[in-house]
Structure 1
Amino acid sequence: MRCESLNVIPLEFHPSSAGIRAQLLERDRTFQQLTGQHFRHYNGVDTQKSVDDCNRLDRFYVNGRVVIDYKTYYQWQPDYGLKVYKECADQGDDVIFDEFLEEDLLVTSPTVRGFDSTDRRFLEFFVNNLSPIEWDETCFDQLLLDLIPKRTVQALGKGKGFVIVLHGPPGVGKTLTAECVAESVHRPLYTVAAGDLGTDRAYLETQLRRIMQMISTWRAVLLVDEADVLLERRSLHDMKRNTTASVFLRVLEYDAFTRRILVLLRYPNLTEASRRTIWSNFCDRVPAGTDITEKQLDQLAKHELNCRQIKNIVKSAESLAAFEGRKVDAAQLEGFTKVQGEFERDWMGFVDVNE
């Protein structure tokens, strides 16, 4: 039996050993550079230990930003590889790792561990699928705020921790404001909604303290969605809501939280002119381009949609256009706008019936 026919052979006997060696060395030098905490873009399949079977790995597809952080990973995923981590830790602080030899680089791990910022879960990422983040330095240009408030938010974003209260109807730019601040300071954005973490007091407090520790560790921007729950007057008829609010405010340290409110911004409903600007902005950001006239943009702006709805319509049209191998056009956008309107009417009817 020839050596090359075996499932596993020494690298030196592989017919493409030189090329494989070069690839491994390049990957593993990247692995060395990812020690500590790093914020990267990831595009590809990643893995997580299965909840049902400890010997099986669940696979997920991720195309978004991730935080590489072994220490935090092991802190919140104690059942995944903790034995090795503890064995290393038990050797004490006197263990010194000299510079890696070339032979060491060939056998380093092809994966690193960290946190998926989009789906908010700890995963294992393949080194070859990581790349530097392309920050959107023009993000504030897309924000429909008056000049002075916009400049104020930009300036505050460069300083130390602060609180901004954003108030207004859905889809008018509140989330985009938080995204712009995160983009300008090159930090992760962590979004948490007041109603997402359940109503069990003990569980809610544990989850919140975990989130606050992660935010502090990564120096991230925290967006608390539905924050009106925390600031409104308590009701005797909704004890679960009261519990959520009281736990949030205790973990956030309410007095310190309110003292750090530096800016209060109110977002009005979108006008036809502002909707046109939003349509134009999202269409300009379609990678493959669009085939839309100024007159067609005027017509699209007449539909009473918010920013989030417009964004979703453009994304849907972009996917359809890519499938059909052509540019996004007004007919596609009008079609998805009609679907959006029909869904809204059906949904409101469903809500009315169930109430």
Structure 2
Amino acid sequence: MDIIIHRPLAQRFGYRAWIPYGVSEESWRTYRDEHTINLGQLSSQKLDDLEALLKSKEGVRGTNILLRDIRAWRKVLETGAAKMKARTVRQFETLLQQYLLPIEGHRIYQRHTEGAMLCYVVAEIEYHPPVPESHSHSRSPAQVTMSLAYEEVGGETSTSETFYAEDVRGVTVARVLAEKGYLPETEELRAEYLKTTERYMRVAGQIGKQFWARGPSKSQERYTRSTVMLNNEDGEPGRIVVDVFHEEGEREGRSHRVHLSPYYWARIASKSKYDPETDEDADGDDADDFKAEEKAGDLDREEIEVPIHPWLLVFHLTKHLRLRAHVDQLEEYIYDTNLSDKLILPEDQKSLVQLLIETKGGMFQDIVRGKGGGAVVLLTGRPGVGKTLTAEVYAESEKRALYSVQCSQLGTNSDKLEEALMEVFARAKRWNAVMLLDEADVYVHERGNNMQQNAIVGVFLRVLEYQGTVLFLTTNRPEDVDDAIASRCIARLVYEPPGPEDAAKIWRILADISDLKITDKVIAKVVATNPEMTGRDIKNILKLAGLMPEAKKGITVEQVAYVQQFKPTGEVALKDPASSSPQARSGEAV
């Protein structure tokens, strides 16, 4: 703790009176009108002498304040700084140092806006005197800065907290820190930190591992750091994969590296200790030895533990954003390896899908090294017949993430398309993900007289040759697929609307999943009158029919007919006016 000796007070006692306390007589011959005495650098005997000196002229203006500060410092030495209240900003520096000195590792915690408790090591505490306003800089009040070090994605970095007079006067250190959201380390906080850090270390290296995630996160896109919810738009957890810190070609941001002096807290401790046997103070030979050891780097110390902030770089598979998420926001993703039982396809097509599932990676190597290491499967057919579901089933069965990309996200500019394709293919390979390139019509379309279209297909062919994962391509226009594209696919599945038997299975599976009542007799009647209905049509009609109050008793043929008139695609069957009237909705389930 520092006390300030102003010139008028020094003159009343005589300049020589202050020499034993580190203030030379010559120092008063400069322009300075005040000098400081660090009480922490005084032995107990010198502290007694200083107190006696001030008491000898207790009536002199300023002595009572100095005596009060000496008593406060004695109390800090006897009982610690926890209950002390700072009178000035300068005093707060010392009280904060003394408060944090005995805390293991000098670590404090703060609850982040995402709800996570983050740990910091206090690297330095420094008092900055007030700066009057001048032509070169604006006025700056007295302040104390607390430098905090931590490590997160990308390396070691730091932040700081600033305390002003209005923050610290007449308030305990614990209260000041609490007002800023900080708590000193306790056994409970330490245990929580170690548990979270252990999980972080396990997860951080599992690039491509899929999780459910919820809560707010920060975008890591190149030009924005906005807050993004990890949840999907419906509020359900979002699917993410753990990703690398920096993608290839992405410029790494500069981390502000903090200077962590291994001697800072050793110096604070030395100022707070007095050896009665040697009666040495920090201004004597011991201090000189200490500084020499510090300069030479010979001072014994424990390695400074820089706390880890367990933020992960993740990729949101629905929102297609690179985000920063706390490890506690992630929950295990359980793959549904029985999902293939719900994929209703003709037997020969289902056998091929099963063959793909049972074929492990590394089976598709080209004779040219680095070429053709992936497998491309072309899925063709009208919307809603199960193309996307096939890719989902394959990914779940393989326990791999499904990276689904709409071609509209990649664009049709042939100059930029190659870079965009290489980026998404690199991600899929990095994550060992199954990739779905959905609605790829513009990339697989047969070449002709349109030069721009030919350029797009040419770029796609060139990049496709070297993609290294399992890639599903879907198109609604099978008759327009370019022969060169088709030749690069290991399999081509043509999807048609399900036959009566398969359609009935789809009705039953979807009804059971949605917990809707419908008899096999009703299903048979609906299937018989709707031979062109796709799996998606069935799902949408069931969803709409299930919203009707009468559906609780069981969905009827009449209710299906009523909601089917609102089906936005395909032909409308069951056109009997009597069966599609509002009154028919109350018909009994068959």
Does the 8 Å CA contact 1:313/1:336 hold for their aligned counterparts?
no
For the residues of structure 2 that align with 1:256 and 1:155, how far apart are their CA atoms? 24
Decide whether aligned partners of structure 1 residues 10 and 225 sit closer, same or farther in structure 2, where only a CA change above 3 A counts.
closer
Specify every segment of 5 or more residues in structure 1 that has no aligned partner in the other structure, as ranges: 88-100, 346-355
Q: Which amino acid aligns with 1:204?
A: L
Counterpart of 1:221 (choices 434, 437, 443) is: 434
For the residues of structure 2 that align with 1:172 and 1:129, how far apart are their CA atoms? 36
| RMSD between superposed Cα atoms in Å | 4.0
Decide whether aligned partners of structure 1 residues 52 and 253 sit closer, same or farther in structure 2, where only a CA change above 3 A counts.
closer
Does the 8 Å CA contact 2:219/2:227 hold for their aligned counterparts?
yes
Give secondary structure in 2 for the equivalent of 1:192: strand
Decide whether aligned partners of structure 1 residues 256 and 152 sit closer, same or farther in structure 2, where only a CA change above 3 A counts.
same
Instruction: Report the Cα offset of residue 195 of structure 1.
Output: 4.4
Give secondary structure in 1 for the equivalent of 2:182: coil
Does the 8 Å CA contact 1:49/1:56 hold for their aligned counterparts?
yes
Instruction: Report the Cα offset of residue 258 of structure 1.
Output: 5.6
Aligned residues: 315
Determine the structure 2 residue equivalent to 1:290. Answer: 516
For the residues of structure 2 that align with 1:70 and 1:141, how far apart are their CA atoms? 34
Instruction: Report the Cα offset of residue 141 of structure 1.
Output: 1.3
Give secondary structure in 1 for the equivalent of 2:506: helix
Decide whether aligned partners of structure 1 residues 112 and 179 sit closer, same or farther in structure 2, where only a CA change above 3 A counts.
same
Deviations 1:117-172 (A, max 9, x none): 12222112231221222111112212222334323322233233322222222211
Instruction: Report the Cα offset of residue 231 of structure 1.
Output: 4.1
Counting only pairs closer than 5 Å after superposition, residues 1-355 of structure 1 correspond to structure 2 as 1=171, 3=174, 6-12=179-185, 17-36=186-205, 37-49=207-219, 56-62=226-232, 63-71=237-245, 73-75=246-248, 78=251, 82-84=253-255, 107-157=307-357, 158-160=359-361, 161-236=374-449, 238-253=450-465, 261-286=489-514, 289-298=515-524, 301=527, 302-303=529-530, 304-312=532-540, 330=555, 334=559, 338=563, 341-344=566-569
Q: Which amino acid aligns with 1:285?
A: I
Give secondary structure in 2 for the equivalent of 1:270: coil
Give secondary structure in 1 for the equivalent of 2:396: helix
Does the 8 Å CA contact 1:171/1:306 hold for their aligned counterparts?
yes
- Of all paired residues, the percent bearing the same amino acid is 30
Does the 8 Å CA contact 1:46/1:126 hold for their aligned counterparts?
no
Instruction: Report the Cα offset of residue 207 of structure 1.
Output: 0.6
For the residues of structure 2 that align with 1:28 and 1:10, how far apart are their CA atoms? 18
Decide whether aligned partners of structure 1 residues 109 and 309 sit closer, same or farther in structure 2, where only a CA change above 3 A counts.
farther
For the residues of structure 2 that align with 1:111 and 1:163, how far apart are their CA atoms? 35
Instruction: Report the Cα offset of residue 309 of structure 1.
Output: 3.6
| TM norm structure 2 | 0.46
Determine the structure 1 residue equivalent to 2:292. Answer: none
Decide whether aligned partners of structure 1 residues 337 and 282 sit closer, same or farther in structure 2, where only a CA change above 3 A counts.
farther
Decide whether aligned partners of structure 1 residues 328 and 283 sit closer, same or farther in structure 2, where only a CA change above 3 A counts.
farther
For the residues of structure 2 that align with 1:205 and 1:315, how far apart are their CA atoms? 40
For the residues of structure 2 that align with 1:230 and 1:55, how far apart are their CA atoms? 33
Instruction: Report the Cα offset of residue 66 of structure 1.
Output: 1.3
Does the 8 Å CA contact 2:510/2:539 hold for their aligned counterparts?
yes
| TM norm structure 1 | 0.72
Does the 8 Å CA contact 2:511/2:517 hold for their aligned counterparts?
no
Instruction: Report the Cα offset of residue 295 of structure 1.
Output: 3.5
Specify every segment of 5 or more residues in structure 2 that has no aligned partner in the other structure, as ranges: 1-170, 259-302, 362-373, 467-482, 571-590
Decide whether aligned partners of structure 1 residues 328 and 154 sit closer, same or farther in structure 2, where only a CA change above 3 A counts.
farther
For the residues of structure 2 that align with 1:140 and 1:55, how far apart are their CA atoms? 40
